[in-house]
Amino acid sequence: MTDSGYSGGPFLRPAVARVPHHAPGGTSSALRRLAANETPWPPPPSVAEALREAALWSHRYPDRGSRELTEALAERLRVPMEHLATGTGSVGLLKQLLQSTVQHEGDEVAYAWLSFEAYPHLSAVAGARVRQIPLRDERHDLEALADAVGERTRLVIVCNPNNPTGTTVRRAELERFLDRVPERTLVVLDEAYREFVRDPDVPDGLEHYRDRPNVAVLRTFSKAYGLAGLRVGYAVAAAPVAAALRACAVPFGVSGPAQYAALAALRTEDELMERVNLLVSERKRVTDGLRALGYSVPGSEANFLWLRLGERSVCFAAACAEAGVLVRAFPGEGVRVTLGLPEENDLVLRAAAGADAAAP
């Protein structure tokens, strides 16, 4: 992202003119990509076939309401259709939620920090003031987050598992938190990595939204389902919130290929969840390997690991690049390593062994 350095014309909202934007540019690199929490495999044949077929209908607008996909999700998740909304990735849905809730100058959005970078970005675009509550031992401090919810807090986000740390909130903690957040504030449970969770004490947001009209769960086809490039996600929330999401959607935003590939992915879920299982076992192997090298690695329930390397982060990422893998450095904070194929993960372990970046 680059800062436009443009102070804006009289027609631009100042908040928007100040937000850093993505300049056009490529992401091509000869390195193995372990930087964006993508899945390392291309779509399986049935999904590729659905894409080919859907592409032949590219001269037509897609189904605006993603009916077939919504029906399949409703059946799969055992939720009523009116509680579902599909969107252009879960970030698209988050943007719609912000648009639905942030109204006046001074309206606030609260979330833990460090967390997903889209939160400050989209909050700024919406014109919200942000309250960032520091992580504690790399985990959400839900007590402090609840304390930060005030009269003007329109939306509070809980990223579970948290990107970039992979850490989670527990069921009892979440319940206490939800009990404390007033109904005037919408709680967004961002569960982009839900399918990678194996700890039974990590709550499934779908257990919690039913009796709470102010809880929305965000999920995506970008991670476990391997469709990051197609931009399709979904939200589960009480009917008025789901309706607001549909009202704020870009018309026909979820393309036909995205809808049909997501549908095909749901139908071949067993195969895709086998892939997830492999990444989960790699998660343990790589965590153990890094810890054996002296790195401090928080337990992750997602498809990535977090190394809090502070000032050594950029050096570590450079060592990985040297070994042929692109990882994501957060300068001054740490490095996030997406789990990939076993041989890709081995490259990270090899780089880590030589990087001299373990505990000083």
Binding site for ligand PMP (CB under 6 A): 37, 89-91, 116, 159, 163, 190, 192, 220, 222, 228, 233
Structure token digits, residue 189? 């449970």
Three-state SS at 174: helix
Q: What is the DSSP secondary-structure string of 99-111?
A: HHH--STT-EEEE
What is the C-alpha to C-alpha distance for residues 128 and 241, in angstroms, rounded to an integer? Answer: 19
Smallest gap from Cβ 117 to ligand PMP, in A, equals: 8
Q: Element (H or E) spanning 178, and its range?
A: helix 171-180
- Nearer to ligand PMP among residue 177 and residue 193 (C-beta): 193
What is the C-alpha to C-alpha distance for residues 27 and 341, in angstroms, rounded to an integer? Answer: 20
Closest CA to 262 of 303, 220, 295: 220
Q: With 0-12 CB in 10 A as exposed, 13-18 as middle and 19+ as buried, what is 240?
A: exposed
Smallest gap from Cβ 119 to ligand PMP, in A, equals: 9
Q: Name, in order, each residue with C-beta under 8 angstroms of 349's C-beta and a sequence gap of 6 or more.
A: 286, 289, 290, 293
- Nearer to ligand PMP among residue 166 and residue 289 (C-beta): 166
- Nearer to ligand PMP among residue 100 and residue 222 (C-beta): 222
Three-state SS at 325: strand
Residue where the block lists tokens 């930060």: 148
Residue where the block lists tokens 């704020």: 248
Smallest gap from Cβ 101 to ligand PMP, in A, equals: 17
Three-state SS at 68: helix
- Nearer to ligand PMP among residue 35 and residue 358 (C-beta): 35
Residue where the block lists tokens 């252009």: 88
Smallest gap from Cβ 205 to ligand PMP, in A, equals: 12
What is the C-alpha to C-alpha distance for residues 250 and 92, in angstroms, rounded to an integer? Answer: 9
Smallest gap from Cβ 303 to ligand PMP, in A, equals: 10
Smallest gap from Cβ 80 to ligand PMP, in A, equals: 22
- Nearer to ligand PMP among residue 109 and residue 357 (C-beta): 109
Smallest gap from Cβ 356 to ligand PMP, in A, equals: 29
Closest CB to ligand PMP: residue number: 89
- Nearer to ligand PMP among residue 37 and residue 168 (C-beta): 37
- Nearer to ligand PMP among residue 138 and residue 190 (C-beta): 190
What Cα–Cα distance (Å) separates residue 157 from each residue in 141, 169, 175?
A: 12, 12, 15
Smallest gap from Cβ 161 to ligand PMP, in A, equals: 8
Closest CA to 168 of 153, 146, 189, 154: 189
Phi, psi of 33 (to 5 degrees): -90, 105
**Strand 186-190, strand 233-237: pairing:** unpaired
Smallest gap from Cβ 302 to ligand PMP, in A, equals: 8
- Nearer to ligand PMP among residue 173 and residue 191 (C-beta): 191
